Chains A and B, each alone.
Chain A
Amino acid sequence: MNADNKILVIGGGMSGLTAALEAAEAGSQVIIAEAGPYLGGRVAQLHRYFPKLCPPTCGLEINFRRIKENPNISFYTMAEVTQVSGSAGNFDVTVKVHPRYVNDRCVACHACAEACPQWRVNDFNYGLDKTKAAYLPYDLAFPQQYVIDKSACRGDCGQKCLEACAYDAIELHMTTKTLNFNVGAVIMASGWELYDATKMDNLGFGQVANVITNMQMERLAASNGPTGGQILRTSDQQPPKRVAFVQCAGSRDENHLAYCSYICCMASLKQATYVREQDPEAEIYIFYIDIRTPGRYEQFYWKVRDDEKVHLIRGKVAKITQEPGTDNVVVVAENTATGNKQSMVFDLVVLAAGMVPSTKASPFPLPLSYTPDGFVIQELLPPGVYAVGTLKGPLDVTKSVQDGTGAALKSLIALGRRS
């Protein structure tokens, strides 16, 4: 195969997987380069996702099977695209594959993790718990292969893991591999990061106990999360009776993210149902500027709104403090419908934090045009390079999948033009 039939997909999340699979199933050779140690991206971290509110496995598993069955796809995890040169139909790409220290003989038996003496903060759970320095990213991770975090695994830690492994799967001297590919088109699908909630100094994240982000809420609710799917507050592991959702935590705010992050209203409404399903007594307060329910999500909003234990209060929360002497959280907001500024006490406060395009922290190795907010401008991309999903603007899973299919088609057209 020559470059004309090859596509590089950067990012193995929902959009990247979709683009890769659609293109591969149409006959192209596809290489996926994923920066993390597993495929599935942010969707894998959710408890349930729109539109069907099914768990992430229901969409991801089928994709993983399609990958396994398709010889046209090869993928690399912990892979970083460091260089792209050339033009449409003929890109030279350098991919650095960082060492996992575990090879594909790994059967995910967990012996290394058990023997491992060191711990690391679990980024998959957004820091809610810790894993051993030898770890599986999450229970259904694809590939089912452990990783050793060398920065956390110091001293004789690696040796202990090595000795515990019965399958010769651990290679402590693994080094960064540099791979070169010649491809005809590049699809950027590196997705988004959650906005750093500590930057909002008035919302208390990181300072006030029991203030969490929306993504942490997903992890708390997920059955493979730190609490086994029980929503418990972080300070005392008690189920919260009163939960507040703080909308626009950073979004629509020129001091933070000037744009609407699109998904947070729906995410909070969805998470309200998580809490309500677990505890029929729990009271939910959602503080908002505007509840935005794009597309056909309006009916979901009606359903949540009509729950008598869910209270929607129009007024942005701008002050969050600890209730003196307790682990409870004081939330200050004005109910603009009544004109009263109130301090209310909650057991748990969820910040509906926004989306930041991943290119903001790690720019793509090509001179691209970005909006002032850091999103990729599709129209100004060089020919043969396509951006998908949340790189171009905040988006939900459904639309990202559609966009991935679109990008696959555009790549195929671009390849076809040159053959």
Chain B
Amino acid sequence: MAGEILIKPDLQFVKRVMAAGGDTVKKCYQCDTCSVVCNLTPDEKPFPRKEMLQAQWGLKEVLSAPDIWLCHQCSDCTVYCPRGANPGEVLGVLRQMAIEKYATPPLLAKAVGDPKFLPLLIAFPMLLLLFLLKIMGGMGIKVGENLVHQGIAIPEGKIIFAKLFPTLAVDFIFVPAFFFAVAVLGKGVLAFWQDINAPHPWRVKVEGNLVCNLIATLKDILFHNRFRTCETTYTRATNHLFLVFGFIFLLIVTTWGFINEWVLHHDPPYFLLSPIKLLAMAGTASLLYGIWNLIKERQANAEKAGYGSYYDWFLIYVIFVVGATGLLAWLFRLMHLQILAYPTYFLHLTAVFMLFFYAPYTKLAHFVYRTAAMLHARMSGRGF
């Protein structure tokens, strides 16, 4: 034997895996069907069999294993598992716990995964926004030609969302929220990168240029080359791609809007057929199409691939609400329905805040950890 390995089982860890939706983990009898049917795994030390074993035995270092992130939860393993041990679901739970492990503060990640805290998580941005409205009303901020901000009330006249939340106010909340999320994610992914490169018995050395490999990895991700090798949930890759491109378009729109506002001093709302508006429409459509199909697909495949955990669904619904309220607020504005447009816009901001501010704690954080893991796999010659 090349050096002894002392394993330290942690019973509490196993119990937490089981409580978080991985209740089937102990059914695994290590037959190895999962690693064989998986189209994504490298051939050397394939997943998810070894992760199932680590989870079963309470070896919590599995949370810093890059392989749990190489899994895209195709659920091919779950479909063929002879014991109903649902490796796909279990690895999903491990990823949730890994996000929690690398998040600061971890408590917030726990809250995101626990339905009990949902009202609190919704109430926080709502109260924040209401508080902002209240203050702005009191300050007598001018929001139009002859209009002063009216506090918590539906503004009169032509619908301009800036009458409710002036761009400065939106930026005042969302720019810090955005940078907070970036900072937490950055801290987490750095710690993760350190962990996967730390000296331990299973370490694989990385080689090559970080930037070049990162670009190659991002290209891989952008076209979902890996994801598309899934069999059972093949359509999931396509729908996810729609979602990703929806996000990318809307990110461009937001940046563009930011530049318009602060560099070019050009206020929204924009002309209906302006390029920025068209891009926004395309982005929204793509996002909604993607998320709607992902929901449908999850429900259709629930029997075979598992329904997914509350943690998964939290993100799915937040994205759905972001898309739906964005679309509806726009439609209501065009229909001149003040009474509906402004509250919908308020909900939209609430949902967007939840999406960004909670990003390091929700499943959304997967995009940094998975990117890091795929980069690591590429640089350590694991075929990614």
Contact = CB atoms under 8 A, between A and B. Distances in A.
24 contacts: A202-B80, A252-B29, A253-B83, A254-B82, A255-B80, A255-B82, A289-B29, A289-B30, A289-B32, A315-B31, A315-B36, A316-B32, A318-B32, A318-B34, A318-B36, A332-B36, A334-B36, A334-B46, A336-B30, A336-B49, A339-B46, A339-B50, A340-B45, A341-B42
A339 to B, nearest CB: 5
Contact of B84 (A202, A252, A254): A254
B84 A341 contact: no
The B interface, classified by DSSP as helix, strand, loop or mixed, is loop
B32 A333 contact: yes
B252 interface: no
A246 to B, nearest CB: 11
Contacts of A255: 80, 82
Nearest to B29: A289
B80 A334 contact: no
B31 A341 contact: no
Contacts of B80: 202, 255, 318
Interface residues of B, number: 21
Given A248-B82, A336-B32, A339-B46, 7 more contacts: A255-B82, A289-B30, A289-B31, A316-B32, A334-B32, A334-B36, A341-B36
Given A255-B82, A289-B31, A318-B80, A339 B45 contact: yes
Given A255-B82, A334-B46, A319 B30 contact: no
Contacts of B82: 248, 252-256
Contacts of B50: 339
A340 B50 CA distance: 11
Contact of B46 (A202, A317, A341): A341
Interface in B20-41: 29-37, 41
Interface of A: 202, 248, 252-256, 289, 315-319, 332-334, 336, 339-342
A197 B380 CA distance: 40
Interface in B37-78: 37, 41-46, 49-50
Given A289-B29, A339-B45, A341-B43, A334 B35 contact: yes
Contact of B37 (A315, A318, A336, A340): A318
A202 B79 CA distance: 11
Contacts of A316: 31-33, 36
Contact of B43 (A254, A315, A336, A340): A340
B49 to A, nearest CB: 7
A256 B80 CA distance: 10
Most buried by A among B46, B80, B83: B80
For the complex of A and B, the 8 pairs showing the least CB-CB separation, nearest first, are A253-B82, A318-B36, A318-B33, A341-B43, A316-B31, A289-B31, A341-B46, A315-B32
A410 B41 CA distance: 56
Given A202-B37, A333-B36, A340-B44, A248 B31 contact: yes
Contacts of B83: 253-254
Nearest to B30: A336
A289 B49 CA distance: 13
Given A253-B82, A334-B49, A339 B44 contact: yes
A90 to B, nearest CB: 46
B42 to A, nearest CB: 8
B230 to A, nearest CB: 15
A135 B33 CA distance: 43
Most buried by B among A289, A317, A340, A341: A341
A316 B44 CA distance: 16
A289 B33 CA distance: 10
Nearest to A288: B31
